[in-house]
Structure 1
Amino acid sequence: MDPIIRVQEETGSEIVPIKVLVVDDSAVVRQVIQEVLSVESDIQVMGAAPDPIFAMERMKKEWPDVIILDIEMPRMDGITFLKQIMAQRPTPVIICSSLAEAGAKVSIEALAAGALSIITKPSIGLRGFLQDASLDLVQSVRTAAKARVSRPTAATGVMAERSVTPKLTADVMLEAPSAGRSALVHATERVIAMGVSTGGTQALEVILPNLPLNVPGMVIVQHMPEKFTAAFAARLNGLSTIEVKEAQNGDRVMAGRALIAPGGKHMMLKRNANNYYVEVADGPLVSRHRPSVDVLFRSAAKFAGANAVGIIMTGMGDDGAKGLKEMHDCGAKTYAQDEDSSVVFGMPKEAIKLGGVDHIVPLHRIPDIITKA
C-alpha cells in the first residue's frame, strides 16, 4: 500500500491519516482549520503553531505530511520558514494567507521557494471564509499528500482553484476537429502546445530557460487563477532567452516566443494563412478549469494538425487528456511527462490511458524535444 495515498486495505486495516501541521499567528485561523480538517477520517491535525519557531520545535518530535502555512508572522516570516523546510526535508506546503491576496508577487515568491499550492484568504471574515472553503482546503491537503516534493531549483506548484461546477468538455468553446493528417493543409511552421497543472511552475522553469531563440512558437496552459499568470510569465521571461508573456487576444505565435494563457480565460490557437495567433476568450470552466488544456489542445488539433507538438505534464485530474488524443488523431506528435519526474502523475496518466501519447519522457528531456521540433 502506498503510504502517501493512505487508502484502507481490503483486509480492514486501519487508515493511516495524513498528518497536518498548521502554522498561523491567528488563533481563529488555527481553530477553524483544525475544526474543518478534524472531521475527515483520513486527515489528522497533529498540531498548530503561532509562528515558525514554535513549529520547528514541534517538528523535532514529529514531522508532518503536509504543512498549512501563513506568510506574515512574528519572529520569522513564512517564506523564510518555507525555504528552511525545503532545504532540510522537502515537504508539501500549502500557503494560506491574506498577504497572497494583496498581489501576485509574494505568491510567485512562495512558489519559487517550493510551495505546492496557495489559498488566498480575506483580511476580514476569516471564520466564514474558511468554513465556506472547507471542501477546497480538504482537497488541497489530499492533493498535497500525494505530491512528490523535492528541493526546488525554481518555482513549484499551482494556486488552488475553487470549483464544484459540472464538468464540461471543450465542445462549449469550439467544435471537434476532423481526424487525420489530410484535415489541414501543410504549413511551414511548427507550434508547441503544452498543458500543465500542479507542479507545473517548477517544470516550466526547468524547460523554458533552457530553450534557444530559434525554438518553435509555444502556447501554454498552466492552471493558475486570474492575476497570477502575468507575474508568473514575467518571472519566466526574466529567466529565459526566449520571450515569455501572458497571452493577449490576437498575439502572434512565432519562433522564440512562449504565450501563457491568462488565468480566468481560455486560450485557443488560431491560424491565418501560414501564421498562427491566439484567441483569448471568456467561457465556462472546461474539465473544471479556465484556462483549460483540453480547449488549447483541441484548437491545436483543429488549426495546426500535424504541424503541432503536444506535451502534457504534471498535474492533478484529467484536463488535457482528451485534447491530446485529438491532437494525436490529427497527426501531431504527442508526449507525456513520466511518473518519476511528475509532482502529480494525474494528467499524463489519463492521457496515456486514452491512447493519445506517442512517447513518455522525463522532464529533463523535454527542452531537447522542443528544440528538435
Structure 2
Amino acid sequence: MKLRVLVVDDSGFFRRRIRTMLDADPTLEVIGEAGNGREAIEQTLRLKPDVVTMDIEMPEMDGIAAVKEIMRRRPTPILMFSSLTYEGAQATLDALDAGAVDFLPKRFADISGDTDQVQRQLQRRIHEVSGQAGRAGRLRQSEAPGRDTVTPEPRANVARAPAEITPPRPSAVVRSGRYGLVVIGTSTGGPVALQKVLTQLPANYPLPVLLIQHMPESFTRAFAERLNELCQIQVKEAEDGDSLIPGRALLAPGGRHTGVEHKGGRLSVRIFEAEPGQFYKPSVDIAFNDAARACPGKVLAVVLTGMGADGCEGARLLKQTGSSVWSQDEATSVIYGMPGAVAKAGLTDRVLPLESVGAELARLR
C-alpha cells in the first residue's frame, strides 16, 4: 500500500517540485496540495494523509499554527521545510515543539535542480517519519492535558512534578564520584527530548555535559540559545577548545564533528571538519569514541530518540573501556532507531522512559 502524502507550501513551484520528487517513488502517492495553513488543516481532516510536508511561512495561517491545530484535531506525522537562517531555525524549533516530527532544509537550488541525492533524501525521510502517526503530538498532549504543546518554563520559574522512576538494575546503581562526563546523543525528536531532560538538571549540576544533536550548522546556535533560556544549567554552542565544566552543557555545532580531549588535567572539546562521505555531522559515534579514550571508565552516555544507528559503535567502545550507557525506551521515542540499535546490541545498562532520564541524571553526584 502506498504512503499518502499531503504537500503544503504557498509556492506553486515548490509544490510541483516536491510532487515530482515524491511521484518518482512508486511507494508514495501525493493525494493533495495546500497553499496555506488553513487549507492544510481542512485537507488533513478530509483526506487523512499518512504524512504532511509543511512550509513555515505562508499567508492566512503559518505552518506553526497549522501544526498545532492538526496535532489537536488529527495527529499526523509532519515533516517541516525550513530556511537555513537564524530566524528559520527559531521557527523550526517552534514547529517541533508544536508536534512536527522532523524537518528538512528548504534550499531553492536543491529543489529547482535535478539532484538525485535531494530526491532520495526527501523520499527516505517521508518513509522514516510515516510510522510515527503523530506520536510526538500525542506524547505532548498526554504530558500536559488541555494544552496543544508543551513549552518548559523559563529557568527562573521551572516547576517540575516528580517523575516516575523505573527501578534500576542492580549493576546500574550510581556510585558517588563514578562519572566525570555525561554525553547525550540524539537525532529526530531530539530538540524536544533534550528540553525535557536538561530542564530537570539543577544550576549546580556536578558534571559537565556534551550534547550531540543531528542538526544543520545554522540551527545549533539558535537551539543552544533556546536551551540556555529554558534550563537552569548554562547551555552554549561548543567552540573549539571550550572546557567541559560542571554545570554547563555544550551543544556540538552542526556541519562539523565534535570530540573530547584530555589535556593539562582538563577535559575540553575539539571541533573538526568531517571527512568526505561522512553522513552525520556531528556524529554521535565520533563523540562517544573520543570520550571513551579521553575519560576511560568515567563516561555516562545517553542515547535518545533518533533515526538510524549513530552512537551504537561508539557505545560499544564505551562499554569496553568501563563506561556506562543508558538509552530511551521505545514507547517515548519519536523514532526508536538510535536507542533501539544500542538496546538490541546489548550495550545499554538502563532503558528509561524520557520523563525519567532527566530525573535520573539529576541524581548523579
TM-score range with shorter-chain normalisation? Answer: 0.7 to 0.9
| Higher alpha-carbon deviation: 119-128 or 52-61 | 119-128
For 1:132 and 1:336, locate their aligned partners in 2 and report how far apart those are by CA, in whole Å. Answer: 31
Q: How far does residue 71 in structure 1 lie from its aligned partner after superposition?
A: 1.7
For 1:359 and 1:125, locate their aligned partners in 2 and report how far apart those are by CA, in whole Å. Answer: 42
Where in structure 2 are there 5+ consecutive unaligned residues?
A: 141-148, 153-176
For 2:56 and 2:255, locate their aligned partners in 1 and report how far apart those are by CA, in whole Å. Answer: 25
> Which residue number in structure 1 is paired with residue 314 of structure 2?
323
Q: Residue 284 of structure 1 contacts residue 290 of structure 1 at CA under 8 Å; is this kept in 2? A: no
> Which residue number in structure 1 is paired with residue 284 of structure 2?
293
Q: What SS does the aligned partner of 1:64 have? A: coil
Q: Deviations over 1:271-326 (max 9, x none)?
A: 13542111111122686211100011011111112111111111111110010111
Q: Does 1:252 align with 2:243?
A: yes
Q: How far does residue 123 in structure 1 lie from its aligned partner after superposition?
A: 4.8
Q: Residue 325 of structure 1 contacts residue 357 of structure 1 at CA under 8 Å; is this kept in 2? A: no
> Which residue number in structure 1 is paired with residue 162 of structure 2?
none
Q: Kindly report which structure 2 residues correspond to 1:1-373, keeping only aligned pairs within 5 A, or say none.
A: 16-98=1-83, 103-123=88-108, 126-128=111-113, 133-147=118-132, 148-150=135-137, 151=140, 152-154=149-151, 190-215=180-205, 216-284=207-275, 288-373=279-364
Where in structure 1 are there 5+ consecutive unaligned residues?
A: 1-15, 156-186
RMSD: 2.3
Flag the 1:355–1:131 CA change in 2: closer, same or farther, 3 A. Answer: closer
For 1:197 and 1:317, locate their aligned partners in 2 and report how far apart those are by CA, in whole Å. Answer: 9
Q: Identity over aligned residues, as a percent?
A: 36
For 1:347 and 1:221, locate their aligned partners in 2 and report how far apart those are by CA, in whole Å. Answer: 13
**TM superposition score normalised by structure 1:** 0.81
> Which residue number in structure 1 is paired with residue 145 of structure 2?
none
For 1:140 and 1:336, locate their aligned partners in 2 and report how far apart those are by CA, in whole Å. Answer: 23
| Higher alpha-carbon deviation: 361-370 or 123-132 | 123-132
**Letter of the 2:245 counterpart:** M
Flag the 1:270–1:21 CA change in 2: closer, same or farther, 3 A. Answer: same
For 2:110 and 2:279, locate their aligned partners in 1 and report how far apart those are by CA, in whole Å. Answer: 27
Q: Residue 68 of structure 1 contacts residue 96 of structure 1 at CA under 8 Å; is this kept in 2? A: yes
For 2:109 and 2:240, locate their aligned partners in 1 and report how far apart those are by CA, in whole Å. Answer: 36
Q: Residue 324 of structure 1 contacts residue 351 of structure 1 at CA under 8 Å; is this kept in 2? A: yes
Q: Which runs of 4+ in 1 moved over 4 A?
A: 97-103, 123-126, 129-132
Q: Residue 326 of structure 1 contacts residue 356 of structure 1 at CA under 8 Å; is this kept in 2? A: no
**Letter of the 1:370 counterpart:** L
Q: What SS does the aligned partner of 1:252 have? A: coil
How many pairs does the alignment contain?
A: 327
Q: What SS does the aligned partner of 1:153 have? A: coil
Q: What SS does the aligned partner of 1:195 have? A: strand
Flag the 1:103–1:128 CA change in 2: closer, same or farther, 3 A. Answer: same
**Letter of the 2:203 counterpart:** L
**Letter of the 2:68 counterpart:** K
For 1:259 and 1:61, locate their aligned partners in 2 and report how far apart those are by CA, in whole Å. Answer: 44
Q: Residue 100 of structure 1 contacts residue 106 of structure 1 at CA under 8 Å; is this kept in 2? A: no
**Letter of the 1:244 counterpart:** V
Q: Deviations over 1:51-71 (max 9, x none)?
A: 222233323322112111112
| Higher alpha-carbon deviation: 144-153 or 362-371 | 144-153
Q: Deviations over 1:204-249 (max 9, x none)?
A: 0100111112321101100001111010010000000000110011
Q: How far does residue 115 in structure 1 lie from its aligned partner after superposition?
A: 2.3
Q: What SS does the aligned partner of 1:279 have? A: strand
Q: What SS does the aligned partner of 1:290 have? A: coil
For 1:309 and 1:136, locate their aligned partners in 2 and report how far apart those are by CA, in whole Å. Answer: 32
Q: How far does residue 126 in structure 1 lie from its aligned partner after superposition?
A: 4.4
**Letter of the 2:180 counterpart:** R
> Which residue number in structure 1 is paired with residue 169 of structure 2?
none
For 1:115 and 1:47, locate their aligned partners in 2 and report how far apart those are by CA, in whole Å. Answer: 19
For 2:184 and 2:12, locate their aligned partners in 1 and report how far apart those are by CA, in whole Å. Answer: 42
**Letter of the 2:29 counterpart:** Q
For 1:351 and 1:88, locate their aligned partners in 2 and report how far apart those are by CA, in whole Å. Answer: 35
For 2:248 and 2:86, locate their aligned partners in 1 and report how far apart those are by CA, in whole Å. Answer: 29
| Higher alpha-carbon deviation: 95-104 or 282-291 | 95-104
Q: What SS does the aligned partner of 2:199 have? A: helix
**Letter of the 1:149 counterpart:** A
Q: Residue 234 of structure 2 contacts residue 247 of structure 2 at CA under 8 Å; is this kept in 1? A: yes
Flag the 1:97–1:268 CA change in 2: closer, same or farther, 3 A. Answer: closer
**Letter of the 2:195 counterpart:** E
**TM superposition score normalised by structure 2:** 0.83
**Letter of the 2:150 counterpart:** T
Q: How far does residue 103 in structure 1 lie from its aligned partner after superposition?
A: 4.2
